[in-house]
Every structure is written in structure tokens, then in C-alpha cells.
């Protein structure tokens, strides 16, 4: 009972290992992956004294229950939830030292979607392409947690951070405001569709996942039918599949695709997108003039 | 060449065809290797575009790009990777019918072509290879298979590909290889990365009849 590892007692709806992801491999068809709310993942790492690259757990809506096999400092943050050790409440969003064999429960999210659990030393599963992140699109990295599985922990790097005066956790959004820049394929849509995107009421769909934030709302009408030959896709791309409802690409998005991208969401707004529960109102706010043309490359 | 803005930190460079996209991609890699490129997180070639993602000042870079002299893509001095294949796929007869040739001729034509990895996508290490003449383009299967075995050699549209792992798929399966296309533990995880030249070499015993 003293090895550096923890057992999964209840995995929850979907709990995955996440770090900063594996950017730089998109040309091989490898998604970036990584924590959907990187700010929260970074904060729980700081609370237990880990470097930013350390791997943490990302839960989905209903938390998880874990039993460390060694004494270890943990911190739970991101979506607010109850945190208990052997049934007794402990602080959320703060480092907590727990004894070997105790039962750590991150409860269901009170607000938001994804809580983050950091252990001092980080989760030490084998990296793939430089990252320990679970990539749900391509299957790289460790599989999602299952009840009864045991995951290794690394050696603590340093003392837990002293963050006196509290940590600035962003609140999960009551309304999700996504700043967008139109393009690269805004010309595949009608003017009416561009107006609809920025004026109509959309809501977060329950079909959202780590690949994309799906929305429900009015269809966006296309000016051109069909699909594009495959082209590279970026994080935050607002892709419009045949059902006409915009999908915002999140960390596990495919690296190429053929549905036209109407606009791109500012990366700084994607952590809030990852914490927006189904049903949350969504507003797309343009930050540049609609229909930005291509840059003048001076070539006919 | 047309450079389209993609958010604030990316450019989608649109070209007239896959060869031009391949030529720009090769030039980007040459300049990166020579230390002549600004930091770009991802350079992602595709059917007729190259995406430059994670780039400061995309507008400035787009103007610079317009001044480049980009050499046309030609057969590299670099040797082609040889991938041994058994032409034993379940759709070989259908492809022969679409090409209006006997099955043996499908094997001859396919194994005589030199392919280039135009881009990767769909799943890690899945390369879209060009090299067959346009007249040999074939449609996808009307009903995709729920599971295509790893190592399946397949055709769709103008492309040839090899499934790196078992997955659903709608391409026409013409053969099988034991070569490992994708291994994250290997130093080069993907055997086929964009720009790589490839030949498929029939394994004698595997040819039907």
C-alpha cells in the first residue's frame, strides 16, 4: 500500500488523463488533445507543486472516486464540486494532504462540466508522442479511466505552491460568449447565414464532447453545396456539417476535414466553452468585419 | 495562390491543385530546415491547401509568401519507400471492373506507379497517396465497412491509402501489407509522412491464382 499509484474506485461518466497535449503532429493526422480547460488544469498543478506539463485527471459532469496507495498532496479544481476524503469534506481548489489508502471523492459538478484532479508528482502513465493525454478521436494515450484500474504517480517535484488569498478560478459561464473571426470559408455561406450566426440564440447541445462543442439553433444556409477537398482544421474552427448547426472544434478535433469552416473562435474563449453545460445559451460575437476577404497575396 | 485568414494566428494557403500544395509544403520544410521560417506550430498540407497554424503575424507572412519563388514538385532524388503488398483485397474484382481491366492488370498498374504522400488525416499515420493517373479514380464503397483490418491497402477517389489500424472505412480494399504504418513508440511514428515517396511491391505468393 505504499507504491506511488492510485486505484480508480468509481471512474465517473468520462474521466481521462490530460496534460498540455501533443501539438506539432497535425501533419501526421494527430490531434492536439490536452486539457479542455487548460487554465484550470494549470492551477491544480500549481496547487500541488507540479510543473505545467504534469498530467492531471479531467472529469465529466459527475466526478470520480479514487484511492491513492501512498500519502500524497492532491487538489481538485475547474468545475466546482464537493471534495471529500473518507467521507469528510475538504477544501475544493486548494492543496490537501491525504494519507495512503484514503478514499478521495470529487463529487458531481455543481456548476460547469469538467473538474480537474492533480496529484503531486503528476500521473506517470507512459507518454505517446510526448504527451500523456487521452485522445478520444484517435485513441492515442491511455484509455479513459475504468473502475478498478490503477494508474502510476510520479515523484513530487517541489513543495505545493502557497497561493495566499485564493486562486482566481473563472466561473463556468451562465451564457457562453464566443468571439469569432469569419473565414476561411465564409464565402460558402449566405449573408443571411452570417447574420444568423451572430444574432440568433444557440444553445450548447448535449451531444458535445472533447472533439467539438455542438450547438442547437437555427440552420446556417449554404451559398455553395457539397464538400471541400480535405483541408487542415484549427482549434476553435466553427465547422458547419449538413444539419446546419455550428460545431466548435475542441482539443480532440480531426486535423483535416471537408465541411466548410465559417469562422474561428478566439482560443481564449474555449476554456469557457469546455465548462458550458448543455442548454447554456451561446452567442457568437464577431470581432472583425464580416466576410473578411483573403489577404492580398499579390499573385493573380 | 490565395492566403485565407483562419482566426488570428493561422493562414490557409489555397493552391490550384495537389502538386502545387505539395510544392509549397516542400518549400516550407526546406526553409524551416534552413532556419528561414518564423515559428509555426503546425504545417498541414491537404488536398490543395497548406495550413500554417500557430503563427505570429499571419498577414505579414502572407505578404512575404507571395514573394517566394517556389520550385515545382519533381521526383526527388530521395528513394521511394518500398511497401510489400499482397494484392488480395475483397474489392480487387470490383476495382478491376471499374478500371475495365483484368485483376492482374490492376496489380501491374498499381505496383508500377510511384506514389507521393500528399497529406495525412482521418487517423494518425493514414496517408493520402497520389500517383495513379486520374482515369483510375474510383468511388468509395456504397456501404462503408464497420471494420477494415489494419494494413489494408485501399483506393478512393484519386487516392491510395493503407489503414494504419483497424477502423471503420469506405475505401475499396485491394490488398494487405504486414508493414507497420504507425507506431507511436518508434522514433518516426508515421512511416508515411507528407512528401514521402512510396512504391508498392507485390509479394509473389500473395497474388491470386
B68 touches chain A (CB under 8 A): no
Residues B176-199 as b or e (16 or more Cβ within 10 Å = b): bbeeebbebeeeebbbbbbbbbbb
Residues of chain A with CATH 2.40.100.10: 176-286
Domains and CATH numbers, chain B: 2-65 (3.30.1360.40), 81-206 (2.40.100.10)
Nearest to B50 by CA among A245, A297, A266, A241: A297
**What is the C-alpha to C-alpha distance for residues A53 and B181, in angstroms, rounded to an integer?**
29
Radius of gyration of chain B (CA): 18
Candidate from A25, A233, A294 with C-beta closest to B4: A294
Q: Which three cell numbers stand for residue A9?
A: 474506485
Any A CB within 8 A of B49 CB = yes
Reading across the β-sheet that carries B159-162, which strands appear in turn? B81-85, B197-202, B115-120, B127-130, B159-162, B152-156, B172-176
Whether residue B46 and residue A256 make contact (CB cut-off 8 A), yes or no, is yes
Judged by a CB distance cut-off of 8 A, whether residue B178 touches chain A is no
**Architecture of the domain defined by A176-286:** Beta Barrel (2.40)
C-alpha cell at A69: 496507495
- Are A170 and A271 spatial neighbours (Cβ–Cβ below 8 Å)? yes
* Residue A178 CB neighbour total at 10 angstroms: 25
* Confidence band of B176 (pLDDT split at 50, 70, 90): very high
Residue A271, classed as helix, strand or coil, is helix
φ, ψ for residue A141, nearest 5 deg: 80, 180
pLDDT digits (tens, 9 = 90+) for B17-67: 999 999 999 999 999 999 999 999 999 999 999 999 999 999 999 999 999
Strand partners for B12: B4, B51
Task: Output the nine-digit C-alpha cell for B61.
Answer: 507572412
What residues contact B149, with CB distance under 8 A and at least 6 apart? B163, B166, B176
Local structure of residue B163 (DSSP, 8 states): -
pLDDT in tens, A57-110: 999 999 999 999 999 999 999 999 999 999 999 999 999 999 999 999 999 999
> How far A164 CA lies from chain B's nearest CA (Å)?
35
pLDDT in tens, A228-272: 999 999 999 999 988 899 999 999 999 999 999 999 999 999 999
Q: Are the beta carbons of A133 and A33 closer than 8 angstroms? A: yes
Q: CA-CA distance, B117 to B112, in Å (whole number)?
A: 16
Is the pLDDT assigned to residue A291 strictly greater than 60?
A: no
Contact B5 A265 (CB under 8 A): no
More confident residue, A31 or A299: A31
Q: Which chain A residue has the Cα nearest residue B50?
A: A232
Instruction: Name chain B contacts of A184, Cβ cutoff 8 Å.
Output: 4-6, 12
What is the chain A residue with the closest CA to B64?
A: A297
pLDDT at A227: 86
A266 vs B contacts (CB less than 8 Å): 7-8
Amino acid at each position: 500500500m505504499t507504491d506511488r499509484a492510485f486505484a480508480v474506485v468509481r471512474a465517473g461518466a468520462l474521466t481521462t488523463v490530460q496534460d498540455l497535449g501533443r501539438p506539432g503532429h497535425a501533419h501526421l493526422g494527430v490531434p492536439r488533445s490536452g486539457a479542455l480547460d487548460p487554465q484550470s488544469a494549470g492551477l491544480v498543478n500549481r496547487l500541488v507543486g507540479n510543473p505545467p506539463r504534469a498530467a492531471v485527471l479531467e472529469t465529466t459532469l459527475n466526478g470520480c472516486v479514487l484511492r491513492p496507495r501512498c500519502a500524497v498532496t492532491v487538489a481538485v479544481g475547474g468545475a466546482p464540486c464537493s471534495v471529500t476524503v473518507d467521507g469528510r469534506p475538504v477544501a475544493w481548489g486548494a492543496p490537501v494532504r491525504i494519507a495512503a489508502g484514503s478514499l478521495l471523492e470529487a463529487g458531481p459538478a455543481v456548476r460547469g462540466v469538467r473538474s480537474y484532479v492533480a496529484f503531486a508528482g503528476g500521473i506517470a502513465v507512459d507518454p505517446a508522442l510526448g504527451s500523456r493525454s487521452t485522445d478520444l478521436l484517435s485513441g492515442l494515450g491511455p484509455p479513459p479511466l475504468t473502475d478498478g484500474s490503477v494508474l502510476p504517480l510520479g515523484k513530487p517535484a517541489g513543495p505545493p505552491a502557497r497561493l495566499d488569498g485564493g486562486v482566481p478560478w473563472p466561473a463556468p459561464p451562465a451564457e457562453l460568449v464566443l468571439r469569432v473571426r469569419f473565414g476561411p470559408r465564409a464565402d460558402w455561406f449566405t449573408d443571411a447565414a452570417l447574420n444568423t450566426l451572430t444574432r440568433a440564440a444557440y444553445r450548447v447541445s448535449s451531444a458535445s464532447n472533447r472533439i467539438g462543442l455542438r450547438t442547437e439553433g437555427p440552420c446556417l444556409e449554404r451559398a455553395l453545396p457539397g464538400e471541400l477537398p480535405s483541408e487542415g482544421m484549427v482549434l476553435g474552427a466553427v465547422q458547419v456539417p449538413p444539419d446546419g448547426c455550428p460545431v466548435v472544434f475542441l482539443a480532440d478535433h480531426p486535423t483535416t476535414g471537408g465541411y466548410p469552416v465559417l469562422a474561428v473562435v478566439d482560443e481564449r474563449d474555449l476554456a469557457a466553452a469546455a465548462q458550458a453545460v448543455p442548454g447554456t445559451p451561446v452567442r457568437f460575437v464577431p470581432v472583425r468585419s464580416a466576410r473578411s476577404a483573403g489577404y492580398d497575396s499579390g499573385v493573380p | 495562390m490565395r492566403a485565407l485568414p483562419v482566426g488570428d494566428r493561422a493562414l490557409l494557403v489555397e493552391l490550384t491543385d495537389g502538386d502545387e500544395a505539395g510544392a509549397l509544403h516542400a518549400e516550407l520544410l526546406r526553409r524551416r530546415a534552413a532556419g528561414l521560417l518564423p515559428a509555426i506550430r503546425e504545417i498541414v498540407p491537404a488536398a490543395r491547401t497548406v495550413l500554417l497554424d500557430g503563427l505570429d503575424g499571419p498577414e505579414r507572412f502572407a505578404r512575404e509568401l507571395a514573394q517566394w519563388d517556389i520550385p515545382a514538385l519533381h521526383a526527388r532524388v530521395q528513394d521511394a519507400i518500398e511497401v510489400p503488398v499482397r494484392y488480395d483485397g475483397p474489392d480487387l474484382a470490383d476495382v478491376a471492373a471499374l478500371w475495365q481491366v483484368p485483376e492482374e492488370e490492376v496489380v501491374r498498374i498499381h505496383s508500377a506507379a510511384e506514389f507521393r504522400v500528399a497529406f495525412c488525416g482521418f487517423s494518425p499515420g493514414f496517408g493520402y497517396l497520389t500517383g495513379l493517373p486520374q482515369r483510375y479514380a474510383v468511388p468509395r464503397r456504397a456501404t462503408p465497412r464497420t471494420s477494415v483490418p489494419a494494413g489494408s491497402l485501399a483506393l478512393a477517389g484519386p487516392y491510395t491509402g493503407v489503414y494504419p489500424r483497424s477502423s471503420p472505412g469506405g475505401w475499396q480494399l485491394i490488398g494487405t501489407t504486414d508493414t507497420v504504418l504507425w507506431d507511436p513508440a518508434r522514433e518516426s511514428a508515421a512511416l508515411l509522412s507528407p512528401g514521402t515517396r512510396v512504391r508498392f511491391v507485390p509479394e509473389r505468393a500473395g497474388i491470386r491464382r
